[in-house]
Amino acid sequence: MIQVKNALQIAAMRDAGRITGEALLAARDSLREGMTTYELDKVIHNYIVRAGAKPSFLGYNGFPASACISINDEVIHGIPSKKRVIRAGDIVKIDVGAYYRGFHGDSARTIAVGEVSDTAKRLIEVTRESFFKGVSAIAVGNRLGDVGHAIDSYVVENGFSTVKRYIGHGIGTALHESPDVPNYGTPGRGTRLCNGMTLAIEPMVNVGAEGVRELSDGWTVVTADHSLSAHYENTIALVGDKVEILTLIDPQF
């Protein structure tokens, strides 16, 4: 069942969203070549805890860290490690959740470290833009198929492919709630949007084919063809027929 939020609950979600977005800014500002993904996770963990919140991912289904950090052909769910060093030329996906006063925020960014290929730059930009194409299809009475179609058609127009195996989701008192929010769809089909809905919209986009597989660590998802992948996610609320992007702090990021 979809949990539609009232004004008080949306207000609490704004706080959770802000902390989540700020934790990503802290990660961006400290990210540098030579750092391990473990160190980057600690920056995020410390930010969230100092803000009086809890890292949503820590212990979620046994996940051992506060952020998912995935590099290059890793799509999502990378496990931070003291052995994994971030190098110039990498594209780093950072996915963060913060739980504050009963509600979760969930947000992800892809960051280029040093000089990356033109394809990598374009992938990051198209993935980010596809999120906003999805947002522009959100309105009371529209359907989730409109949102997914807007995302996927933009990705395909730009010569990339949308991951279908993993999707966005409702969010609130639980990190993952109803409804499913696919990054593809048929216009006019799917769940009808209404005020009070809170969703994590999160396109995952590959340079090559859409296929992905999970590594034997039980978490890390990589592209099947080892092409580069990017991820961009925000938690949004539909309020008064307007979209509020709760985890977007720096509009350029």
Interface ranges with Mg ion (CB under 5 A): 95, 106, 108, 200, 233
Q: Judged by CB, which is closer to Mg ion: 19, or 108?
A: 108
Distances 96 to 6, 46, 69, 186, 208 between C-alpha atoms, Å: 24, 12, 9, 29, 25
Q: Judged by CB, which is closer to Mg ion: 86, or 201?
A: 201
Shortest Å distance, C-beta 101 to Mg ion: 19
Q: Judged by CB, which is closer to Mg ion: 106, or 152?
A: 106
**Interacting residues of 80 by C-beta distance below 8 A, sequence separation 6+:** 36, 37, 38, 40, 41, 65, 67, 69
The stretches of 51-171 forming alpha helices (DSSP H) are 118-136, 144-157
Shortest Å distance, C-beta 57 to Mg ion: 8
Shortest Å distance, C-beta 34 to Mg ion: 26
Residues in the chain: 253
Shortest Å distance, C-beta 199 to Mg ion: 9
Shortest Å distance, C-beta 92 to Mg ion: 14
Q: Judged by CB, which is closer to Mg ion: 87, or 164?
A: 164
Q: Judged by CB, which is closer to Mg ion: 33, or 253?
A: 253
